[in-house]
Amino acid sequence: MRVIIVKDYDRMSKLAAKFIADELRRKPALVLGLATGSTPIGMYQELIRMHKEEGLDFSKVITFNLDEYIGLPKDHPESYHSFMWKHFFQHVNIPESQIHIPDGTLPMEDIPAYCEWYEKRIKEVGGIDIQVLGIGRDGHIGFNEPGSSLGSRTRIKTLARETREDNARFFDGNIDAVPKYAITMGVGTIMEARMLLLLASGPNKAEAVKKTVEGPITAMCPASIMQLHPKAVAIIDQEAAKYLEREYEVDMG
Ligand code: GLP
């Protein structure tokens, strides 16, 4: 895994945006795998700035989001649909027909077939070029919680208590309001992307980063599978990198 340690959140965001912009200029019909959470917001802001000020063109881009809660209406403020429109899609020129976010409003019994369709759709467009990833405190990627099969595909996942506690702050601090299930791309789905771009910032992520980069590959830390990916880049700020013991690229901007 290529690890780049940066000064802070701002530098992480700008460097991540630059990776994507460089690829996008080379390949205008880029297929992007996108993530939610507070971590990638700065990267989205920088991409929006590049679109507005430098004419970075997203008109041919196709996107697939990693995951979505089950049971929230799309217009619920905490749905990942709302998140993506608010923080990215409404500010750039990706046609709506080229945007894919798992549909968490379907009845439970229809979701397995829908997940198969999602996988098929990714293949039809030629696979994901760059998959952006945040990381959960428990080492999850997407909503692949510890114990997820490292070969898993898009499916329903029960959320870990830790994840629901972490996300309760977005639901007025009420853990009971946090959905119990989500649709998520599988670890196997994620690993098929041609490039993985993991972002991590802040001391809360330091332990998960340590396990991901320097720990053994284990389903108990799903992000650790990235060690097997031929083109995985992790951009980590100093605080999130504080437990790393080996030498890495350093980019202090
Ligand atoms: C959620 C998302 C993950 C994300 C994680 C971390 O659980 N499903 O994709 O990586 O949150 O969120 P944050 O970036 O806010 O720390």
CATH number at residue 19: 3.40.50.1360
202 lines ligand 1 (CB under 6 A): no
Whether residue 250 lies inside any domain: the answer is: no
> What is the rounded distance in angstroms from the CA atom of residue 235 to the CA atom of residue 97?
30
> What is the rounded distance in angstroms from the CA atom of residue 18 to the CA atom of residue 165?
33
39 lines ligand 1 (CB under 6 A): yes
Is residue 251 part of the annotated active site? The answer reads: no
Strand partners, 232: 196
Which tokens in the block code for residue 201? 């910032």
142 lines ligand 1 (CB under 6 A): yes
Whether residue 236 lies inside any domain: the answer is: no
Distances from the Cα of 33 to the Cαs of 61, 67, 127, 128, 247, in angstroms? 11, 10, 10, 6, 29
Whether residue 231 lies inside any domain: the answer is: no
Whether residue 89 lies inside any domain: the answer is: yes
Residue from 34, 67, 140, 156 whose mutation best tests the ligand 1 pocket (most atoms within 8 A of CB) = 140
pTM: 0.96
Whether residue 143 lies inside any domain: the answer is: yes
37 lines ligand 1 (CB under 6 A): yes
CB-neighbour burial class of residue 95 (10 A; exposed 0-12, middle 13-18, buried 19+): exposed
Q: Which residue has the tokens 């750039």?
A: 92
Q: Residue 14 sits in which domain range?
A: 8-202
**Total structural domains in the chain?**
1
Whether residue 43 lies inside any domain: the answer is: yes
Q: Residue-wise pLDDT tens for the chain (253 aa)? A: 999 999 999 999 999 999 999 999 999 999 999 999 999 999 999 999 999 999 999 999 999 999 999 999 999 999 999 999 999 999 999 999 999 999 999 999 999 999 999 999 999 999 999 999 999 999 999 999 999 999 999 999 999 998 899 899 999 999 999 999 999 999 999 999 999 999 999 999 999 999 999 999 999 999 999 999 999 999 999 999 999 999 999 998 7
Whether residue 226 lies inside any domain: the answer is: no
Whether residue 41 lies inside any domain: the answer is: yes
The residue annotated as part of the active site, out of 51, 81, 87, 140, is 140
